Structure 1
Amino acid sequence: MPDHATSSHPAVQRQLDRLMTLGPGADILGLGRITALLARIGNPHLALPPVLHVAGTNGKGSTCAFLRAAIEAAGLTAHVYSSPHLVRFNERIRLAGQLIEDDALAVLLEEVLDASEFAGGNIGASFFEVTTAAAFLAFSRTSADACVIEIGLGGRLDATNVVPAPAACAIAQLGIDHQAFLGDTAEVIAGEKAGIAKRGVPLVTMAYADSVAARIAEVAAAAGAPVLAQGAAWDFEVAADRLHYRDAGGTIETPLPALAGPHQPANLALAIATLRQQQHVAIPSAALAAAATAARWPARMQRLAAGPLLGLLPPGSQLWLDGGHNEAAARSVSAALAEVAGERPVHLVLGMLSNKDATGLLAPFVPMARSLTAIPVPGHAHHAPADLAGIACRLGIPAADTAEDPESALRRIASRLPSHEPLPVVLILGSLYLAGEVLRANDELPD
């Protein structure tokens, strides 16, 4: 199902209406359509600034945020392509540091959609393929020092995997997700992610289980790409509230990331390694250190500011948001939540797409959660809230019920808080689509 996309700009909405008809099917992965579409618009992917290409099951978005922050801290500019958007479609295409403007976006989408549908017959390009082509076209027409490109799904057959010679490729944390497209084992999924490897281009990776690392090495060797793995080519540790990074070129010390969670130092270190292993964009050590506190990535353990949703809870409560939707993400997010909550009671608000593993997501939160309120994910096929509440009860979460939306869920939590307990920490989680609705409702639009 394509991502919902609406705009208050009439010209953008006309093109989004066209785009929304391009729903991907089970056979959507492949490079044939995107290659044909790019050829019709002048092959813009061959005229991009140096590309940093990032794959992974979890953490790839945060890694891209650190990459962008480091490039900008060096006084340079970066285009960024990421997905999905949370509130506005424009979030997917960042031109030299700024989200693409509505007027430019409308013209761009019309040009690419017309090329896909009318210039020589309908290619049958998907939502993501058209979006990718539009981003590459925009990037080729606007000057910047680098491109940060996040894989949409998998790697080998992802529409972004047409750039022939990136400056560097990176793979973040790996886990089991999107099995219908990528396979059912960690090794098969790793092979798909490693499919971004290119001849002579450094492939920078985290440390993985031996069988997973072996599969990545096999795919990279076939492509002629050197693998620069954590623990061999580079490494890091956290000590005395600092991140200490090291590789053959020396050491760098940075503050700990401003992004919440014990998993974020690894994402920062991966970004540092990626920038230090490429030869196309010069990033001084001071800029790498600055990226730790400058990076922002909405809906990834984001503490929500004062707004309509937070106002539904007693003053002094904390409201957090995370779009994580698989077991690996849940382990990281639950650890982050335990850190920020301390001794305060924790309550969960959960909405999940129907093709996600609710039991795997919830299990890491069971030891700390006082309650769970399950809600729908508007506009998407989702787990019935009553089913999610039932899973929570079976796992041992003390109280579980349902609500119609985030506002109703927060009101319900607030109404049953014991007066003698510390103020709560509430986490809304389970879907990036839900996260977008939450940000909109709390008047926190990503910029």
Structure 2
Amino acid sequence: MNYQEAIRYLRSYKRNTGELSLKNLDKLLDYMNHPEKKLKFIHVAGTNGKGSTCKMLSSILRSAGYKVGLFTSPFLETENEQIQINGQVISNEDFAKVCKKVKDFSSYLMLDEIPTEFELTTAMAFQYFYETNCDLVVLEVGLGGELDATNVIETPLVSVFTNIGIDHVDYLGKTIKEIACKKAGIIKENGIVISYEQTKEVEEVIKIRCEERHSRLIVADFSNLKLHQENLSGQKFSYKQNTNLSLSLIGEHQRKNAAVVLEVISQLQMLGYKVSPNAITEGISYVTWPGRFEVLCKKPLVILDGGHNVQCVEAFAEVLKQFIQGKKATVILGVLADKDYQGMIPYLVPLTKRFITVTPKNSRALPSIQLAEELSKYHPLVSSYTSPVEGIMAALRDAREDDIICAIGSLYMAAEIRDCFIHE
């Protein structure tokens, strides 16, 4: 099996059309002699900030000298981005090798028991991290928590919750309490739980679940965050005893994610993991995360953000306001049809001089013409293009050096837009 054959195999089990369940993956892992039971995990759930949090954690632990596996989703450009060790993406050759192993094991299952693409990729990650002797694995939840493929693991070193909000309502529930209950399903017996400062309703759900599972809960204290400096290149801040931290990711929400990360590191230190203050400072400073308020060009200023729900767009708008100083931007917007795109619009309209709608490369994408019709109810200048590349090219054609262009709405269009700048 080569890389392309591996991708074709995985995509043939694309989506779960029935109820979510862990039984098929657990059965597959049983045939594989449970590689996940031989690994140490930090398990990260939430609605927004999971990827950034995972990236910070893995970077700090790598700087401390540990061999760190990182499993995240979705990917921007290629499937193997989801599986990394110490910042290095799994090679195409190793991806194909481990996929072949998982395929061979899955042949023991009945045809209707074959896991989904994400479950198979999760099994591949477990096998690869085990074979390469990772000291620690930072494991990002894909969807929800309780019935997510990553939740087959036993009690991790630490369970982590980033900011929880409304998203994936078809799977997780229509209220914040229902969604929080599903995400809190990652809390296991006698564990350590670190949480972002949540709304009262969400915090109560997590607190009750911790009590039921005899787990200890620590909530990051954002009142201990102190911002020293921030610009489009990054920010300098302190949290508790961690002073003069430099982070390339900007915005208050990223400082808050960092506070959660530092609480996790503190608990790992108490468990005996050696992470020096220098490793923390160095690890934080090395973090990059493409597609998160990423500056692709300065003249004109082009900002890319993969924000795909109302909370993300609200946070993006707050950060943008800081830096555009009363000016308005050309906003390229592309969304998936199952997202609350109507809820995003009020945060973007006050900052926008012109909207350009595009269709992300995903089967669930909302056609750009349909999005343009919706936006026209709120803004007089709206144009529609089929692809993200056509949209960014149209914006650049009309832009002056001091203009601002923002692309937001879905990570599924981020890779195409990045390629126009990164590989030009």
**Shorter-normalised TM-score: what interval?**
over 0.9
8 Å Cα contact 1:77/1:97 also seen in 2: no
Of 315, 328, 349, 2:311 maps to 328
Indicate whether 1:403 and 2:385 are aligned.
yes
Q: Deviations over 1:81-133 (max 9, x none)?
A: 001111011101002431111111111111112322x2143322001100000
Deviation at 1:413, TM superposition (A): 2.5
Deviation at 1:218, TM superposition (A): 1.2
- Does the C-alpha gap of structure 1 residues 414 and 164 become closer, same or farther in structure 2, counting only changes over 3 Å? closer
Within a 5 Å distance, the mapping from 1:47-446 to structure 2 comes to 47-48=38-39, 50-116=40-106, 118-122=107-111, 123-231=113-221, 236-241=224-229, 242-246=236-240, 251-278=241-268, 279-304=271-296, 316-395=299-378, 397-417=379-399, 423-443=402-422
Please report the TM-score for the alignment, with normalisation by the length of structure 2: 0.93
Give the partner amino acid of 2:42. L
8 Å Cα contact 1:344/1:423 also seen in 2: no
Give the partner amino acid of 1:236. N
Aligned length: 415
Give the partner amino acid of 1:353. L
8 Å Cα contact 2:62/2:86 also seen in 1: no
- In 2, distance between residues paired with 1:28 and 1:317? 47
Deviation at 1:256, TM superposition (A): 4.5
- In 1, distance between residues paired with 2:59 and 2:325? 30
Q: Deviations over 1:333-360 (max 9, x none)?
A: 1112222323443111111111111111
8 Å Cα contact 1:348/1:426 also seen in 2: yes
Q: Deviations over 1:389-411 (max 9, x none)?
A: 2222223x341110122332233
Q: Deviations over 1:2-23 (max 9, x none)?
A: xxxxxxxx81111211111113
- Does the C-alpha gap of structure 1 residues 280 and 157 become closer, same or farther in structure 2, counting only changes over 3 Å? farther
SS at match of 1:160: helix
Worse overlay, 105-114 or 274-283:
274-283
8 Å Cα contact 2:225/2:259 also seen in 1: no
Give the partner amino acid of 2:404. V
Give the partner amino acid of 2:357. A
- In 1, distance between residues paired with 2:205 and 2:77? 37
- Does the C-alpha gap of structure 1 residues 410 and 436 become closer, same or farther in structure 2, counting only changes over 3 Å? closer
- Does the C-alpha gap of structure 1 residues 73 and 444 become closer, same or farther in structure 2, counting only changes over 3 Å? farther
Worse overlay, 406-415 or 290-299:
406-415
8 Å Cα contact 1:95/1:138 also seen in 2: no
Give the partner amino acid of 2:286. A
Q: Deviations over 1:133-169 (max 9, x none)?
A: 0000000111233111100001111110122121111
SS at match of 1:161: helix
8 Å Cα contact 1:348/1:428 also seen in 2: yes
Q: Deviations over 1:178-198 (max 9, x none)?
A: 011111111111111111112
- In 2, distance between residues paired with 1:298 and 1:236? 28
8 Å Cα contact 2:58/2:86 also seen in 1: no
8 Å Cα contact 1:256/1:265 also seen in 2: no
Indicate whether 1:40 and 2:31 are aligned.
yes
8 Å Cα contact 1:321/1:427 also seen in 2: yes
Q: Deviations over 1:196-219 (max 9, x none)?
A: 112222110011222211111111
Larger helix proportion of the pair? 2
8 Å Cα contact 1:96/1:142 also seen in 2: no
Within a 5 Å distance, the mapping from 1:21-36 to structure 2 comes to 21-36=12-27
8 Å Cα contact 1:254/1:292 also seen in 2: no
- Does the C-alpha gap of structure 1 residues 151 and 174 become closer, same or farther in structure 2, counting only changes over 3 Å? same
4+ aligned runs moved over 4 Å, structure 1: none
- In 1, distance between residues paired with 2:59 and 2:205? 31
- In 1, distance between residues paired with 2:78 and 2:16? 24
Give the partner amino acid of 1:136. F
8 Å Cα contact 1:260/1:302 also seen in 2: no
Deviation at 1:285, TM superposition (A): 1.9
- In 1, distance between residues paired with 2:283 and 2:79? 25
Which structure 2 segments of 5+ residues have no match? Answer: 230-235
SS at match of 1:263: helix
Please report the TM-score for the alignment, with normalisation by the length of structure 1: 0.88
Give the partner amino acid of 1:18. Y
- In 2, distance between residues paired with 1:25 and 1:164? 23
- Does the C-alpha gap of structure 1 residues 29 and 444 become closer, same or farther in structure 2, counting only changes over 3 Å? farther
- Does the C-alpha gap of structure 1 residues 182 and 392 become closer, same or farther in structure 2, counting only changes over 3 Å? same
Worse overlay, 168-177 or 280-289:
280-289
